[in-house]
Amino acid sequence: MSDEILDVDLLRFEVGGADERRALVDGVMRSLATGFVYLGHDLAEDLIDTAYGLLAAFFSLDPETKAQYVAPGSHGQTGYTGLLVETAAIADEPDWKEMLNWGHSIPAGHPLRRKYPHRYMDQVLPESAVPGITKVLGELHDRVFDIQRRFLRIVALGIGCHESFFERMLIDGSTLSRALRYPDMREAPGDQHVWAGEHADINLITALPRATAPGLQVKLKAEDRWIDAVAPEGRAIINSGLMLEQLTNGVITPGVHRVVAAPGQAGERYSVVQFCHPTPWTVLAPVASCVTPHNPQRFAAIEAGDRLDQVLYEINLVEDARRVAD
């Protein structure tokens, strides 16, 4: 098992010959033993910079103004989520962070929207407070999703499936973008809080284009120790989620991580992450290629939407059923 996060170039996979493609698939699978990959991509750096500028303008608003963009009933799937709300599933103290969430809109009459209304609400973004933010964040969402979709073609080959295995389940999936502001830890109301406690993401894969400061750490499970995750310049961080673990029968395990300020680290931290989800009615059942006599089936089938709802409760985002009280 690898204990190293590897640097893999998505564009080389797409233009390379058969031998190079096989080598890149192998590199991704070896790196995902950590749950993480550093990925070369074609996302424009100026788009990331523009998005961070607009997000900084939003998060600098007063609490009362930001609270106008809370979306009741969305379970944190769109709009603003304030400080000390989201809580890691294994923690009892909420994270020291605030968030703005958005996704891809689908038509009002779409069957997904009728069946999963809290998953496909109208987007709540602070356009009136920060003009231009809706267009930029929508473009960022679409560009990052395209990278995630293309990366999953590598994963599909790595688990013995057709390259297009994930494509159909991603159409109109509930992929979620999230901007996070982690305030200066010296302002936290107690030393029991961290920026984000130890957790694994629920989705297929998560993409982190670039953060503004260090803090992300990856848990090497075999050694039970933490390492800093800092992508090389021009790279994105990709990590695997619980849904991918379920589909691969544990061949790919989720990347366990946390976000913590180093001792003496001052200042705030911004990051944008994107959680790539299948459509909620996708049945998450282990694929045949990952079930063998040496790796018998570990997981029962469950709909992706139900699995997500389980985790949203665990992390304290169901408004009328908070696991950890305010």
Q: Over the chain (326 residues), what is each successive 10-residue block's mean pLDDT?
A: 84 96 97 97 96 98 97 89 90 93 92 89 96 98 98 98 97 96 95 94 96 95 90 94 97 97 94 97 97 97 92 75 58
Alpha-carbon span 280 to 31, nearest angstrom: 28
Q: Calculate the CA dihedral of residues 53, 10, 167, 161 and round it to 10 degrees.
A: -150
Cα first-last separation, the chain: 41
Distances in Å between the Cα of 205 and the Cα atoms of 23, 131, 182 are 21, 31, 22
Quote the radius of gyration of the chain (alpha carbons, Å).
19
Extents of the domains making up the chain: 7-314
Per DSSP, the three-state class of 289 is helix
The pLDDT score that the predictor gives to residue 326 is 56
Residue 149 has a pLDDT of 98
Output the pLDDT for position 1: 45
Give pLDDT, residue 325. 59
Bridge partners of 218? Answer: 227, 257
Q: What DSSP string describes 41-94?
A: ----HHHHHHHHHHHHHHHTS-HHHHHTT--TTSTTSSEEE-TT----TT-SS-
pLDDT at 323: 54
Residue range 7-314 in CATH 2.60.120.330: yes
